[in-house]
């Protein structure tokens, strides 16, 4: 990336006379001070992007694909019989025989894609959705699989997708964080899922736990902004004196600016995060007026307000508690509850984005770290299942109303047009304007990228 904003001194340096090419190259390579001073400045990607922002609807624990988006008649027909082939060696706990989905599927929309009766409202938007039924991942534990889904790597710390994108693109609203994570409850390994890792920490996700108090330290003491303004004016004058004979002026300037920015954030951020400013109709649409849908409804509504104001990446965790979608048992009772909690809010988000003209350049993703086993755990549960599962995408230049890929007849292995997590990542970056092989960061002796040495853009799903 060589299109950083030039600082005053570097501009002078570069336009000064008598440099050899070598010296110039050295200076271009030494761009970090600029990035440090303006980490969020808008930067151009590699090619014309189809999406400008991302909303990742993350269902921690692993939603069951065979009960929601991937109907399997053979699973119903052979309910209670053993899986007719050997299970993979990678297994946590032994599962039993095939377990038919207790729920009905029906064709939806003009595309006629089959969706479970548990998601009637999402089904209503199916013609805007691309269902990838052939996802697969490498890890069978939440921690490793979630890390892979969010950072591309199972075991070691790597920057998350949102961090890569804010690093690559900057953000469009300097008064708001560029990458916001909303997770009402703590999830396993916490910040490792939105970490900037070895990228500068400016690019890590800003965690919002409490929707009522979203961004830390926004309240001026005693709410007295006039008094604070007075202090900031004095501070600016003292900082100007300090700067007079000092060399590192771009860093000092940046810090002076950061106080002014902080002051503006105090005014703007509360407005951005304040969903009470939305109309009653909108609240009804998102279901924030109903206990079942209130929490995720608020999250989705917040996501829309944030992307509307230029936030680059919003990741929502459906987390009334940790691993809410981890249905080892109680599948029949609890999966409907989770679906009810997210179905209307998600449909509302898609509808709302569309009516505001935002859906076409906002990429919406839905899914968890893996799916769930077609075989039963106990008599009313399903085990973790990374071998074949479903995620869906909408907006952001993705073809709606299509199914991509397939699992086998039992929903066990992804078999057709397989999409690995790395491929999904490559595709997200592609839609955001990046060649995933070229968005890199030099660290510890080599260039790292989100997709490591893997990943193919899933071209068949691009509009």
Cβ closest to other proteins, residue 141 vs residue 290: 141
Cβ closest to other proteins, residue 81 vs residue 157: 157
Q: What is the DSSP letter of 178?
A: S
Cβ closest to other proteins, residue 186 vs residue 211: 186
Return all residues near 173 (Cβ < 8 A) that are at least 6 apart: 309, 310, 311
Q: How far is the CB of 394 from other proteins (least distance, A)?
A: 29
Q: How far is the CB of 52 from other proteins (least distance, A)?
A: 22
Cβ closest to other proteins, residue 9 vs residue 277: 9
Cβ closest to other proteins, residue 88 vs residue 330: 88
Structure tokens at 136: 């697969």
Q: How far is the CB of 331 from other proteins (least distance, A)?
A: 18
Q: How far is the CB of 399 from other proteins (least distance, A)?
A: 24
| Residue position matching structure tokens 């729920």 | 103
Q: How far is the CB of 309 from other proteins (least distance, A)?
A: 15
Q: How far is the CB of 154 from other proteins (least distance, A)?
A: 7
Cβ closest to other proteins, residue 113 vs residue 319: 319
- Per residue, the 3-state secondary structure of 289-350, as one string, reads CCHHHHHHHHHHHHHHHHHHCCCCEEEEECCCCCCCCCCCCCHHHHHHHHHHHHHHHHHHHH
| Residue position matching structure tokens 């089959």 | 114
Q: What is the DSSP letter of 70?
A: -
- CA angle 182/185/188 to nearest 5° reads 100
Partners of 456 in the beta sheet? none
Distance CA 376, CA 359 (A): 38
Length of the chain: 463
Q: Are strands 406-407 and 179-182 parallel, antiparallel or unpaired?
A: unpaired
Q: How far is the CB of 32 from other proteins (least distance, A)?
A: 8
Cβ closest to other proteins, residue 16 vs residue 291: 16
Structure tokens at 312: 């680059």
């Amino acid at each position: 990336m060589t299109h950083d904003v030039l600082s005053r001194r570097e501009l002078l340096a570069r336009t000064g006379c008598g440099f050899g090419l070598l010296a110039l190259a050295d200076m271009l390579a030494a761009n970090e001070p600029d990035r440090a001073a303006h980490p969020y400045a808008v930067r151009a990607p590699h090619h014309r992007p189809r999406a400008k922002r991302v909303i990742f609807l993350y269902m921690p624990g692993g939603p069951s694909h065979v009960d929601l988006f991937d109907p399997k008649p053979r699973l119903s027909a052979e309910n209670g019989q053993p899986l007719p082939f050997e299970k993979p060696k990678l297994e946590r706990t032994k599962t039993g025989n095939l377990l038919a989905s207790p729920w009905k599927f029906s064709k939806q929309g003009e595309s006629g894609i089959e969706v479970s009766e548990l998601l009637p409202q999402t089904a209503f938007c199916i013609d805007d959705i691309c269902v990838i039924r052939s996802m697969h991942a490498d890890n069978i534990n939440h921690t490793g699989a979630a890390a892979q889904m969010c950072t591309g790597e199972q075991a070691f710390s790597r920057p998350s997708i949102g961090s890569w994108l804010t690093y690559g693109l900057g953000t469009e609203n300097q008064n708001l964080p560029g990458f916001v994570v909303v997770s009402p409850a703590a999830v396993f390994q916490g910040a490792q899922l939105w970490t900037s890792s070895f990228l500068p920490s400016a690019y890590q996700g800003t965690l919002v736990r409490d929707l009522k108090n979203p961004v830390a330290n926004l309240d001026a003491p005693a709410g007295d902004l006039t008094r604070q303004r007075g202090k900031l004016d004095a501070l600016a004058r003292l900082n100007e004196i300090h700067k007079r004979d000092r060399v590192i002026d771009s860093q000092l300037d940046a810090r002076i600016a950061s106080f002014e920015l902080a002051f503006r954030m105090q005014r703007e951020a509360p407005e951005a995060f304040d969903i009470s400013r939305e109309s009653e109709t909108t609240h009804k649409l998102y279901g924030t007026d109903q206990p079942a849908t209130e929490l995720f409804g608020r999250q989705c509504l917040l996501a829309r307000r944030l992307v509307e104001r230029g936030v680059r990446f919003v990741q929502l965790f459906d987390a009334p508690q940790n691993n809410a979608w981890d249905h080892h048992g109680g599948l029949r009772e609890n999966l409907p509850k989770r679906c009810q909690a997210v179905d209307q809010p998600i449909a509302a988000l898609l509808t709302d984005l569309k009516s505001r003209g935002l859906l076409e350049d906002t990429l919406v993703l839905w899914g968890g770290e893996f799916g769930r086993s077609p075989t039963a755990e106990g008599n009313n549960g399903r085990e973790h299942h990374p071998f074949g599962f479903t995620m869906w995408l909408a907006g952001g230049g993705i073809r709606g109303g299509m199914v991509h890929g397939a699992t086998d007849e039992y929903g066990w292995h992804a078999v057709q047009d397989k999409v690995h997590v790395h491929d999904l990542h490559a595709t997200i970056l592609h839609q955001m304007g990046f060649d995933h092989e070229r968005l890199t960061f030099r660290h510890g002796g080599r260039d790292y990228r989100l997709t490591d040495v893997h990943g193919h853009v899933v071209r068949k799903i691009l509009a």
